Amino acid sequence: MLFIIACAAGWYLLRPIPRNVATAPSQPSAAQTASTQTPAGAAPSASSSPSPSPAASATPTLTPNPRGPKIALIVDDCGQWVDIERGYIALPIPLTLSVLPHVHAGTQIAQEAQTAGKGVMLHLPMETISGVYPGPGEVKTSMTDAQIVAQVQDDLAQVPLARGVNNHEGSKASADPRVMRDVMQVLSQHGGLFFIDSRTNAASVGAQEATAAGIPTASRDVFLDNREDVNYTEGQLREAAAIALRTGSAIAIGHPRATTLEAVRAMIPQLQAQGITFVLVSSLTH
């Protein structure tokens, strides 16, 4: 009897323990706790908030219509007021800087403009009716053909990055067919240069002579800043927009003035909302 009792007690003590009882979950680490828990009432941290999708965070942009109305902006007299000219270069639109020859910052600002993808032109000084001196490098009606050719060659050498030319002042010289033929002769020798007639004189023959010489050309439609006033310049930009909407394109010329830069910067989104695309002036030549 004692033997039987001893055997029964041994079996009970040595029986296998069932494994069907769930074990308690392990405690999360401190790092796991910090990444998954937020104190009640507190906004989620940046690390715990879901990241916005690219579509949700992207700023809406207007897709340019290649067949829609276009405005080309030209900034004349560049190479003298670097801070304002850099302001134009920083604008998020195509535009063209027309650089004077023989000015202290001409090479520098032309290089910065080209690097930023802006257009670069030579702003060619030409004789005025009033006798106002347009600056060094002036082309005069009293010059011989050879002198005009030499002067234009020298001025182009001052702005080697120029891909086109427009006249600075020049109300007298631009109306002289002989003078303008000599200018176009030089441009044709440089292959690929275009000419924009600033139309400082309604009697200008610049575009006419350019066409006759096979030089791509176009003419200015609007001056933006005959008055140094933001409201005035905004009005002129609206005028350029009206021309572009009516005819397909417009060329507007302004200057390195703080008021002009302010007006252009303010009007860019308004004009783009009308479906207008900003382009380099070279694209409007024909």
Q: What is the CATH number of the domain that holds 77?
A: 3.20.20.370
Residue 35 placed within a domain? no
Domain that holds residue 242: 70-284
Whether the predicted pLDDT of 117 surpasses 70: yes
CB 97, CB 281: distance < 8 Å = no
User: What residues pair up with 249 in beta bridges, in sequence order?
Assistant: 70
Integer Cα distance of 184 and 196 in angstroms: 11
Number of domain units in the chain: 1
Q: Is residue 77 part of a domain?
A: yes
Region at 260 (left for phi over 0; alpha for psi -120 to 50; beta for the rest): alpha
Q: Which of 90, 132, 82 is nearest to 107 (CA)?
A: 82
Instruction: Name the 3-class secondary structure at 272.
Output: helix
pLDDT score, position 82: 98
DSSP three-state, residue 195: strand
* pLDDT of the residue at 57: 28
For 230, residues 6+ apart whose C-beta sits below 8 A from its C-beta are 259, 262, 263, 266
| 69 pLDDT above the threshold of 60 | yes
The per-residue pLDDT for range 234-263, each reduced to its tens digit, is 999 999 999 999 999 999 999 999 999 999
φ, ψ of residue 135 to 5 degrees: the values are 115, 170
Q: Is residue 268 part of a domain?
A: yes
- Given a cut of 70, whether residue 29 has pLDDT beyond it is no
Q: Would you say residue 95 lies in a domain? A: yes
**Phi then psi for 146, rounded to 5 degrees?**
-65, -40
Q: What are the structure tokens assigned to 253, written together? A: 């010329």
User: pTM, whole model, 2 decimals?
Assistant: 0.78
Question: Is 208 within a domain?
Answer: yes
Cβ neighbours for 140, distance < 8 A, ≥ 6 positions apart: 126, 127, 173
- Which residue from 68, 55, 1 is spatially nearest to 248, judged by alpha carbons? 68
Q: Does residue 41 sit within a domain?
A: no
How far is residue 196's CA from residue 73's CA, in Å, rounded to a whole number? 12
**Which one-letter DSSP state was computed for residue 249?**
E
Q: Under a CB-based contact definition with an 8 Å cutoff, are residues 283 and 72 in contact? A: yes
Spatial separation of the C-alpha atoms in residues 198 and 121, rounded to whole Å: 12
Distance CA 243, CA 194 (A): 22
pLDDT, position 63: 57
196 within a domain of the structure (yes/no): yes
The residue with greater pLDDT, 6 or 202, is 202
Domain annotation covers residue 231: yes
Say if CB 81 and CB 103 are below 8 A apart: no
CA atoms within 13 Å, Cβ hemisphere of 140 = 13
The answer to whether residue 11 scores a pLDDT higher than 50 is no
Q: What pLDDT is attached to residue 16?
A: 41
